[in-house]
Structure 1
Amino acid sequence: MSGVQGGHGGAGAVARRLQLGSQLRRLREASGVTRESAGYEIRASESKISRMELGRVGFKQRDVADLLTLYGVTRESERAALLALVGETNTPGWWHAYGEVVPPWFQTYLGLEEAAREISSYEVQFIHGLLQTEEYARAVCLLGNPNAAEEDIERRVAVRMRRQHILRSPDGPRLLAVMDEAALRRPCGGREVMRAQLSRLGELAEHPRITLLVMPLGVGGLAAESGAFTVLGFDGAGDLPDQVYLEQFTTAIYLDRPAEVAEYRTVLERLRVGSLSAEGTLGLLETALQDL
């Protein structure tokens, strides 16, 4: 079984939890065992099996061994390969130091983001988090958490800046960021903050692994109906399924079934085709900057 490219430390742990959970789900379904029966086998609930299969929790050697037996996996080499992953699923990531401002559902995303080989997203309201300046990120955090203590705001900003390390890494992911023009026009943080942010976008558009496209205002109705989403691709590394990330107000949804991921990729392609070209996007950035 191949390793997960792009994953290291906590990022690798998240990726391997998803990898192991996905494999266990396929084995359970192939053997005709229900989640309820699987939970009974390891003295746990059906919801615990669901969380395990989604990679939301760590794994214990005993639980995985018992489940493999229940699913009829008897070949020693196959058992050994899966059990070897267990010890790699519980390594804490850098974001654990910010646990008081990073909810568990977003910690999963941070691990996936670091392990991904390709990140493709559509943003409606704000500039993509990986592309934000520190001042813009602070304004966004204040907007979403108006009653938070100053220290908490600064720690949220620190998390956002730490995420951007992957763009400077030699083996970092490819990034396709499709943004609605409204995100460029919304005066988040004031005139000077927006000027610096738009200038930064112009610089990042020259990055060899970043494709930045803008969906201009007044183009069709697709942007309004699809909402923001992110597709994380892993190039098939380690049998890790691609993921769709949908953030909500107090939680997030992760989709990994091929049909669901394919549907979002289709929507993303339609958004890409409907957006300005890379050159047109740079032109719009310059215009928006002049308009400030």
Structure 2
Amino acid sequence: MKHPRRTARRRKLGAELRALREAAGVSPEAAAKAIHGDRTKISRQETGQHRVTRLELEVLFTLYGVGDEKLREWLVALASEGNKRTWWRRHSGMLADGFKEALDLESEAARISAFQSQVVPGLLQTQTYAAALISGASTSLTEQQLDFFVDLRMSRQSIFLRGNPPQYTAIVTEGVLHQQFGGPEVLAEQLRHLADLSQSPDITIQVIPFTQTSFTDSGGSFALYSYPDPLDLDVVQVEHLDGALCLEDDETVAKYRRVLDKLRSSALPPGRSIELIASIARGLEHE
């Protein structure tokens, strides 16, 4: 039997429910009995492997003595993601779990802050730049598979067209602007695209120049996703060779937020960043 994916919301909800149960001195068996389940169900709910229904939450609130309305509202918001359907789910079978979680996070975030040290962030890529990256990352893809993943990356960018687009901040190193994936023409087109995107009030692009002598080591590329009340959730996604890792622990998230602030202060202001991007694009066009 295949169990539901452990999303960031489910993990956060489960951890909070476990803390509330333990604080109330309620055993897993007693909690399970209250919701007409068994200890395994409670265990899976508290580790984010099993969905918690609204009715089960209300029963647990009473059992654990949760009277704080703000806390109850937050936990209900965390649990509600199980009912949501998103545009990419029809392709779910072709996607790795880590990538599905990235799409989940992206789809509903109110603010996204990304740091990239190697490539232009996916949400800002042109189709030709994306195709060059994806084909270079895996030589085993068929032409049909390549088209699928490129189209998927382009579809992700529709979040900027919705009625309440996220506030998106991208911080990249200057090296990203010189790496000619697909060749100089592809890169020049990509850089012009970044300059165009920067005109949007929802998108901020900053570049850490080669001349910056004070640079914060982030340990690699990452993104911070933030969600408004009542969800009040921040999640960091860290990229690694085999996929990505999502982190929700408050202390860890706070550490990445501090790193992000340092990276932002190391970068050129948005206006000067776009001037640098445009200058590099002009240089490529005259080669």
CA deviation after TM superposition for structure 1 residue 62, in Å: 8.0
Task: Give 1:92 deviation, angstroms.
Answer: 3.3
The reply on whether 1:158 has 2:158 as its aligned counterpart is no
Q: 1:239 aligned to 206, 231, 239, which one?
A: 231
Kindly indicate whether residue 260 of structure 2 is the aligned counterpart of residue 264 of structure 1: no
C-alpha distance 85-184 of structure 1, shift in aligned 2 (>3 A): closer
- Can you list the C-alpha shifts for 1:153-203, whole angstroms capped at 9, x where unaligned? 211112211111111223111011001111111111112211111110010
| Residue from 173, 180, 184 that aligns with 1:180 | 173
How many percent of aligned residue pairs carry the same amino acid? Answer: 33
In the alignment, structure 1 residue 27 sits paired with structure 2 residue 23:
no
CA distance in 2 between counterparts of 1:244 and 1:84 reads 19
- 1:5 corresponds in structure 2 to none
Which deviates further from its counterpart, 117-126 or 219-228? 219-228
Q: Kindly indicate whether residue 159 of structure 2 is the aligned counterpart of residue 200 of structure 1.
A: no
Tell me the alpha carbon deviations over residues 67-105 of structure 1, each in whole angstroms, 9 at most, x when there is no partner.
Answer: 657645599xx9899679757514332222222332122
Q: Aligned in 2, Cα 1:153/1:33: closer, same or farther, shift over 3 Å? A: farther
Which of these residues, 94, 104, 107, is aligned with residue 87 of structure 2? 94
Which AA in structure 1 matches 2:129?
A: Y
TM-score by length of structure 1 reads 0.79
Q: Match of 2:4?
A: none
Alpha-carbon distance between aligned partners in 2 of 1:248 and 1:37, rounded to the nearest angstrom: 40
Counterpart amino acid of 1:246?
A: V
Give the equivalent residue in structure 1 for 2:3: none
Kindly state the Cα deviation for residue 19 of structure 1 after the two structures are TM-superposed: 6.6
CA distance, structure 2, for counterparts of residue 271 and residue 166 of structure 1:
25
Q: Matches of residues 1-292 of structure 1 in structure 2 within 5 Å?
A: 17=10, 20-21=13-14, 23-31=16-24, 42-44=38-40, 48-49=44-45, 51-52=47-48, 58-59=51-52, 71=64, 89-220=82-213, 222-235=215-228, 237-292=229-284
Displacement of 1:35 after TM fit? 8.2
Residues 36, 122 of structure 1: CA spacing in aligned structure 2 closer, same or farther, 3 A cutoff? farther
SS in 2 for 1:172: coil
- For residues 243 and 116 of structure 2, what CA distance do their matches in structure 1 show? 17
Match of 1:8 in 2: none
The Cα offsets for residues 98-150 of structure 1, whole Å up to 9 and x where unpaired, read as: 22332122212212212111101100111011100111111111122221122
- Unaligned stretches of 5+ in structure 2? 1-6
Contact in 2 for aligned 1:42/1:63 (Cα 8 Å): no
Q: Is the 8 A contact 2:77 2:230 kept in 1?
A: no
Could you tell me how far 1:37 is from its partner in structure 2? 9.6
Structure-2 change in CA distance of 1:104 and 1:47 (3 Å): farther
Q: Note if contact 1:35-1:50 (Cα within 8 Å) is conserved in structure 2.
A: no
Aligned CA RMSD, in angstroms, stands at: 3.6
SS at match of 2:94: coil
Higher relative CO (Cα under 8 Å, sequence separation at least 6) belongs to 1
**CA shift at 1:205, angstroms?**
0.9
Q: What SS is found at the alignment partner of 2:206?
A: strand
Once residues 146 and 221 of structure 1 are traced to their aligned partners in structure 2, the CA distance between those partners, rounded to angstroms, is 38
- Paired residue secondary structure (1:107): helix
Name the TM-score, length of structure 2 as normaliser.
0.80
Give the secondary-structure state (helix, strand or coil) at the position aligned to 1:170.
Answer: coil
Change (3 A) 1:88 1:115: closer
Aligned residue type for 1:145: S
